[in-house]
Amino acid sequence: MDKRTLLAIVLSLAVLFLYQIFFVKPPEQQLEPVAEEGEMQILKEEVMKPLSPGEIAKAKKTAVMRNIAEKEITVETSLYTAVFSTKGAGLKSFKLKNYREECVNCPNDIFPVVKNFITGSQKDLQPKSGEPVELVSVKEGMPYPLAITFPDSSINIPEDSMFRADVGSLDLTGGNEEKRLVFSGIYDGVIKVEKIYTFNPDNYAIELDVKMYNLTGALLIQTPRLNWHQYEDPANSYSRYDKQGPLVSVANSIKRQEVKKLDSDKMFGPNVLWGGFETKYFVASFIPENPSLTSSIMSRDSRNMVTVGIWGQKEIIPGGQSAVVGYSLYLGPKQYDLLKSLNVGLERAIDFGIFKWLAVPFLLFLKFLHGFVPNYGLAIILLTILIKLVFWPLGNMSYKSMREMQKLQPKINELKQKYKKDQSKIGQETMALYRAHKVNPLSGCLPLLIQLPVFIGLFNALLYAIELRHSPFFFWIQDLSAKDPYYITPILMGISQFIQQKMTPTMGDPMMAKMMMFMPVVLTIFFLNFPSGLVIYWLFNNILSIGQQMYINKKLAN
């Protein structure tokens, strides 16, 4: 038995020895980061330092790389200018070249203009700077967006840890090839982290791979969490139409959160398809490669820093091996076709409402019309005319029915007086009166109800279409996505609404009819601060409706 035991031990040691030689590869020299000449030997010694599992367990929970100076790396494409930092290998600035913060050609609001005319001041009348749209907003001391943390991991690396970059800048404006920016850092001689950004020169999508190298012989468990941080000024006020704040897509359900209401951590998942931070017309988003195992968090701290983070499963990394977690990033405009092309449902970041099935075709058709009419204002008018033509028969039916019911109104009033103490009898006699004169009471309002989803769908399409942003119409309207600076079109819309209301046959309670006359005033006030593209649609729809009512009245008079 002693000989058999000895033989078994020898064979076991031999198997282990051969396995280590042929199957377990030691950490290779290329895993070391780019370092300054005086630091290379120190880093080599850290990597080669043997650490037992017991020593790993006793290692510091927070690993901090050697204190080195922060550097910026600029990435230029034809679409954006991105500035990355070696601090956290995060994003310090991201400016969209084709979009401006302000409409350069737009006139100033009427109130500053009048005030300056009276006082003789030139304030607010100077040309606007038109700075490119900036997607990053952080304050000093805050971590940068796209920082990586490792919660619930063997080694947690803070978001402000320093990395080294393999290049000083990237220029993709003159070619059509992808280029990479690699950040790397070694922490406690235990783990090396690489963040590899891959840029495409002709779109807003960026690929991000996070590689984690285990430089020891012990097992490491790492859970990377990708974060987007955004400073939100508490003084800013946003309407429900601005859509400013964090959002995630969980199992095809969009979860939005108003910044001011984000008073505690919000957890979502698993099955997070994407997450990010949105404004009305732009979105900064990240898409995990394995959404079924991905969760998300939204939070806001005392500094008013809003954070959206996503993380997946724990990565178990054997000694001397590595693991990779991949993401796709989209930082750019909420342009439907661009978002749709990513095939992850990111186009749902555009909130078209419950009538999305109508809003999207309207938007696509509006862009189609713009291909023939190089002015979105004229394209909106043309679209309004085409919609009115489609619903012309329903409109005729509605107006005719209301005229017939108006003729019966005196008889209905007589029935109300005759049977004023018997509501059931009034209803029976009224329906009998309708049948006798072949009038359907529903034919007056039903066509309007059928058209209501169309109006709402087109309303949302025009409200959130980035194509209208800073798009000119004519004269003083140089931005169809902004309000009319002189309130001319809302006032004209109110007048047209009043004319239409006067022409509409009155039915029912006279007091209700008088109250309806206030509707044009209410709508005018409501539309004062709405995008001028929406007001133009409503104005011309009213004009066409007035024309249709005049046509029906003349036809019935003959």
Architecture of domain 137-351: Distorted Sandwich (2.70)
The rounded distance, in Å, linking the Cα atoms of 431 and 94 is 66
Q: What is the separation, in whole angstroms, between the first and last Cα of the chain?
A: 121
Q: Taking 70 as the threshold, does the pLDDT of residue 79 lie above it?
A: yes
User: What's the predicted TM-score (pTM) here?
Assistant: 0.80
- The residue-averaged pLDDT of 263-273 equals 89
Q: Which residue has the higher pLDDT, 270 or 51?
A: 270
Q: Taking 60 as the threshold, does the pLDDT of residue 472 lie above it?
A: yes
The secondary structure of 171-201, three-state, reads ECCCCCCCEEEEEEEEECCCEEEEEEEEECC
Q: Which residue has the higher pLDDT, 450 or 213?
A: 213
Residue 276 Rama label (left phi>0; alpha psi -120 to 50; beta): left
Confidence of residue 112 (pLDDT cuts 50, 70, 90): low
Confidence of residue 425 (pLDDT cuts 50, 70, 90): confident
pLDDT recorded at residue 61: 37
Q: Taking 50 as the threshold, does the pLDDT of residue 41 lie above it?
A: no
pLDDT recorded at residue 125: 45
Confidence of residue 93 (pLDDT cuts 50, 70, 90): very high
Which range, 80-89, 166-175, 242-251, 511-520, is most confident?
A: 80-89
The whole-chain average pLDDT of the chain stands at: 81
Confidence of residue 411 (pLDDT cuts 50, 70, 90): confident
Confidence of residue 54 (pLDDT cuts 50, 70, 90): low
Task: Tell me which residue has tokens 């009166």.
Answer: 433
Domain boundaries, the chain: 137-351, 358-557
The letter for the amino acid at 244 is Q
The rounded distance, in Å, linking the Cα atoms of 233 and 239 is 15
pLDDT recorded at residue 94: 97
Burial 26-35 (b: 16+ CB within 10 A, else e): ebeeebbbeb
pLDDT recorded at residue 216: 87
Portion of the chain with pLDDT greater than 70, in percent = 79
For 293-343, write each residue's pLDDT tens digit: 899 999 998 889 999 999 988 899 999 999 999 999 999 999 999 999 999
Confidence of residue 509 (pLDDT cuts 50, 70, 90): low
Confidence of residue 118 (pLDDT cuts 50, 70, 90): low
Q: Which residue has the higher pLDDT, 17 or 408?
A: 408
pLDDT recorded at residue 505: 65
Q: Taking 80 as the threshold, does the pLDDT of residue 525 lie above it?
A: yes
pLDDT recorded at residue 552: 80
- The residue-averaged pLDDT of 18-40 equals 40
Q: Which residue has the higher pLDDT, 379 or 556?
A: 379
For 186-214, write each residue's pLDDT tens digit: 888 889 999 999 999 999 999 999 999 99
The rounded distance, in Å, linking the Cα atoms of 57 and 39 is 27
Q: How do beta strands 72-76 and 169-171 pair?
A: parallel
Q: Running DSSP on this structure, what letter comes out for residue 208?
A: E
- The residue-averaged pLDDT of 447-462 equals 83
Q: Which parts of 346-427 are beta strand (E)?
A: none
Confidence of residue 11 (pLDDT cuts 50, 70, 90): low
Q: Running DSSP on this structure, what letter comes out for residue 303?
A: T
Q: Within 13 A of 523's CA, how many CA atoms are on the CB side?
A: 22
pLDDT recorded at residue 361: 94
The rounded distance, in Å, linking the Cα atoms of 227 and 128 is 34
Which candidate, 550, 192, 262, places its Cα nearest to that of 403?
550
Which candidate, 455, 56, 18, places its Cα nearest to that of 219?
56
pLDDT recorded at residue 336: 95
Q: Taking 60 as the threshold, does the pLDDT of residue 160 lie above it?
A: yes
Distances (CA, A) of 373 to 137, 383, 473: 37, 11, 12
pLDDT recorded at residue 57: 52
For 393-405, write each residue's pLDDT tens digit: 887 777 777 777 7
Confidence of residue 558 (pLDDT cuts 50, 70, 90): low
The rounded distance, in Å, linking the Cα atoms of 40 and 8 is 45
